[in-house]
Chain A
Amino acid sequence: MATTRDYEPNVVLSNQDYNVVGTRPLRPDGADKVTGRALYGADFAAAGLLSGSVLRSPHAHARIKSIDTSKAEALDGVRAVVTSADFPQGGEGPVVWQRDNVLASDKALYRGHAIAAVAAASPHIAEEAVSLIDVDYEVLTPVTDVQSSMKGDAPILHDSLMTDELGEKADKASNVASHFQHVKGDVKAGFKEADVVIEREFTTKTVHQGYIEPQAATALWNNDGRLHIWCSTQGSFAARDACAKILDIPVSQIRVVPLEIGGGFGGKIDVYLEPVAALLSKKTGTPVKLVMSRADVLQGTGPTPGSYAKIKIGAKKDGTITAAHAYLAMEAGAYPGSPVGAGAMCVLAPYDLENALVDGYDVVVNKPKTAAYRAPGAPNAAFAGEQVIDEVAKAIGMDPIDFRMKNAAKEGTRQVHGPTFPRVGYEEVLEAMKSHPHYNAPLDGPNQGRGVAVGFWFNIGFDSACNIAVNADGTVTLQEGSTDIGGTRASIAMQAAEVLTLPYEKVHPTVVDTDTIGFTAVTGGSRTTFATGWAAYEAAQDVRTKMIDRAAQIWEVDADTVELEDAVFKSKSDPELSMTFAELAGQLGRSGGGITGTAAVSPSGVGGAFAGNIVDVEVDPETGKTEILRFTVVQDAGKAIHPSYVEGQMQGGAVQGIGWALNEEYYMSDSGTMDNVSLLDYRMPTSLDLPMIDTVIVEVANPGHPYGVRGVGEAPIIPPTPAIANAIENAIGTRLFALPMNPAAVAKAVMDK
């Protein structure tokens, strides 16, 4: 059980002061969420609502010869049954894969693959009807792990899939969708210069995002032809656009209304239920709701891949890395598109390397199509890369943080895949780690070990929009298209408040539907506070300018002479002229009409984020159980708009990493099915498994954002698995090369020593 320890108070190493930015106000959606009033995906209700249920494949790999829905259709209370034949057909490549993933057409490619769906008067009737659907399967041999799937004799998932080999299409069907390379310098020559060269192989198992709210969606295909969808999604526009593609209708025909979202972590970007509910509603002329069970979530939605990695790193005795080669192969699941590309961009990113090579392989297997999961691909890669770094540091007798510092990527470092780093805060993160009391505290017992590791995530920009309207009482309303998973209503509203010099409480943010706001990309990629925050900043500037113009007009002075400070408009030329924001707001109607501001942005100044962990573990050599004694997360946030929410991301990401490191995995049977389909057997960390998680927010402002924001959601899940592996190595004197490092694996490592 977790021991009680006085934890270090969370530290913010701040570099600039603002009025609102950097404070810790309460969340605007708090009242709804602590009283049970917030409406999540499954809570939506409408008159005449029908309940749906989805039939899922019991086989991991099977040809679908025929589907007989007649018995289901005949059941009393059943209103409609749909299969993939009800989707518009045609197209090729990604759109077909996306459509087939939602409802299988010719082949079921994983256990849990949706085959057909029913709409009925009650959930119980819908379930019963689903059991009456007859599917004639020709069961095929499955392949469920990346290494087996890459072999020449592996069962082939897609007859039409040919490997894209460094840009050239192969002429034979294969499970390897693509092989790409990033090259810098000459690795062969680099390894020759090295005094120490270490090469290791690593594997990781499939794990799930594990959001607590299962997917849920309701659709109404209205009599005017418009399709309305209420769902729990990370991106209402992404859901709209995916449905438009699958249903082959214009995006303008669809309105997606985002409900509250009970966690996503990347897993609620893709659509699963929405297009199916739409088909069922089209057939019945009535709203239809579909809700997943936990087993559906684990078997039918995108996990993050199992993977294989081989890492080779060479260094001189003085600590200079001379060359590095990372070979990464990741499972895409049933259709191409693993996160290996992102993993390849991140695996060596913390290091300024003269010679480096990254090979990436995207490989299909008979598992659910992988979806994004918090820094997708990067934790798999870091588990491998950061362990070899640790081993090399040891081999040349250097402190692991000093070794990283010596080779640290910084402004101007060209990354292996091409781009050069702008100002990044990696060295500052390392310094904060090195000087943290945790790093310098003694361990107090046998079988204890301390480990460190770092991780990089590039973060993304993309489109965001924001509308702001001034109310007559001096408050403003703010509309945004980013769904709020972890407090972004606050972090976005705060940026508008800062511009308008208003207290945070005067800005009322609302997450709105796709008819109400300009295109806004997903809440993902750690982009929301960065990009939608930027849209809010711009929309607030728009309001500010118009308010200043209005004050100038009322005072009959030049707008240049009016300034806004602490929510008061003043004239620089005449000290008599002064008016509060609220006073001016109250006069808008009489002085020319109301004021609104709007902005649509696609910011390019994205700032990548580095995170580092220090972790102490104690291993029970008998049982192999690893206890986390102490855990410190250090991360460069650029600017923490709301430090509590930044800390929350760091803590939550760290704990997901701890679960990934020590417990979580899909147990696959020989027949290719997942055996642990409940949260009892798919074991995520509980409060008992953990200590308090200390955080240090480093703020090295991103020059590409008005307040210096980098984005914080993803980086914290990257370092935990290698940091824990390095700590275990220090505790038991032997290294683990496979995830999860569960008690059985650790006990075996102790025994094999």
Chain B
Amino acid sequence: MAQEITLTVNGATRTNQVEPRLLLADYLRSVLDLTGTHVGCDTSNCGACTVSLNGDAVKSCTVFAVQADGADVTTLEGLASDDGTLHPIQEGFWEKHGLQCGFCTPGMIMSSLDLLSKNPNPTEAEIREGLSGNLCRCTGYHNIVLAVQFAAEKMNSGS
């Protein structure tokens, strides 16, 4: 039953035998112990499980691990530089208090990454649009918008 998959996760090549019904979210969490990818709803609504798949944000609870065979996956754990320096988006969420419980944060950061890679200078409305697939129940999104604005500025100034 199990199928072999080989994919790149956070820069490292991984080969595993997985059952076809295993979700990418569960593969990352249970097989690779990358528990920074959270599961909040299992129906593709909350966005807590968002990861980058070949450069696009996807909800990893809606992708089977076997579908990611050959793909390049980045999770929140792979976002900081090799020397540990935080990505400006990570910094923004910390600096601007863009989290309370922090459970939505991995998905919010990965969706923000997708947004800012496609639109480096988003307006408030575009940020809200870009994050509309990610639910946060704690913050009311106010400080999340500020966190993304902080990150955009920092990324644009190249520092």
Give A contacts to B, CB under 8 Å.
1-4, 24, 26-27, 29-31, 33-40, 42-43, 45, 124, 209-214, 260-265, 293-294, 485-487, 644-645, 647-648, 651-652, 654-656, 678-680, 684-688, 690, 692-693
Contacts and interface: CB of A to CB of B under 8 A. Distances in A.
B24 interface: no
B42 to A, nearest CB: 6
B141 A655 contact: yes
Nearest to A39: B35
Contacts of A38: 102
11 contacts: A27-B97, A30-B94, A33-B99, A40-B38, A42-B35, A212-B135, A294-B40, A294-B41, A294-B42, A687-B136, A690-B140
A690 B136 CA distance: 12
A664 to B, nearest CB: 11
Contacts of A26: 94-95
Mostly helix, strand, loop or mixed at chain B's interface? loop
Contact of A34 (B39, B43, B109): B109
A214 B135 contact: no
B77 A36 contact: yes
A644 B97 contact: yes
Given A294-B40, A652-B100, A680-B45, A34 B105 contact: yes
Contacts of B134: 686-687
Contacts of B109: 34
B35 A36 contact: yes
Closest 6 CB pairs of A and B: A36-B36, A262-B103, A655-B140, A33-B102, A651-B140, A486-B100
A591 to B, nearest CB: 38
B153 interface: no
A461 B108 CA distance: 35
A263 B48 CA distance: 13
Contacts of A260: 101-103
Contacts of A263: 100-101, 103, 137-138
A686 B135 contact: yes
A33 B35 CA distance: 11
Given A679-B46, A679-B135, A680-B45, A34 B86 contact: yes
Contact of B125 (A2, A265, A648, A651): A2
A397 to B, nearest CB: 35
A212 B46 contact: yes
B34 interface: yes
Given A26-B95, A294-B41, A684 B137 contact: yes
Contacts of A34: 76, 86, 90-91, 93-94, 99, 102, 105, 109
Contacts of A3: 125
A30 to B, nearest CB: 4
A678 B94 contact: no
A25 to B, nearest CB: 10
B83 interface: no
Nearest to A655: B140
B144 interface: yes
A27 B94 contact: yes
B38 A654 contact: no
B132 interface: yes
Interface string B34-58: 1111111111111010000000000
B113 interface: no
Contact of A648 (B93, B105, B139): B139
B9 interface: no
B152 interface: no
A40 B25 CA distance: 15
Nearest to A36: B36
Given A262-B101, A652-B100, A687-B141, A35 B45 contact: no
A27 B99 CA distance: 10
A613 to B, nearest CB: 13
Nearest to B105: A33
B131 interface: yes
Interface in B142-156: 142-145
Given A213-B48, A262-B101, A688-B132, 8 more contacts: A4-B123, A33-B102, A35-B36, A124-B19, A262-B104, A265-B137, A486-B101, A652-B137
Contacts of A209: 137
A210 B86 CA distance: 30
Interface string B81-124: 00000100011011101011111111001000000000000011
Given A212-B46, A687-B131, A692 B41 contact: no
Contacts of A210: 137
Given A34-B109, A211-B101, A656 B125 contact: no
Contacts of A648: 97, 100, 138-140, 142-143
Interface in B56-93: 75-77, 79-80, 86, 90-91, 93
Contacts of A655: 139-141
B41 A4 contact: no
Contact of A294 (B43, B86, B101, B123): B43
Nearest to B124: A4
B142 A651 contact: yes
B87 to A, nearest CB: 9
B128 to A, nearest CB: 4
A214 B38 CA distance: 10
Contacts of B14: none
A29 B102 contact: yes
Contacts of A262: 38, 40, 101-104
Contact of A2 (B35, B90, B128): B128
Contacts of A30: 93-94, 99
B4 interface: no
A656 B45 CA distance: 17
B104 to A, nearest CB: 5
Interface string B17-33: 00101000000010001
B41 A678 contact: yes
A24 B94 CA distance: 12
A213 B103 contact: yes
A214 B40 contact: yes
Given A34-B109, A692-B142, A645 B137 contact: no
Contact of B137 (A2, A36, A211, A214): A211
Contacts of A124: 19, 21
Contacts of A1: 125, 128-129
A684 B137 CA distance: 8
Nearest to B77: A36
A124 B22 CA distance: 10
Contact of B86 (A2, A35, A644): A35
A687 B109 CA distance: 14
Contact of B106 (A36, A42, A485): A36
Most buried by A among B79, B86, B141: B141
A486 B94 contact: no
A718 B129 CA distance: 28
Nearest to A1: B125
B38 A651 contact: no
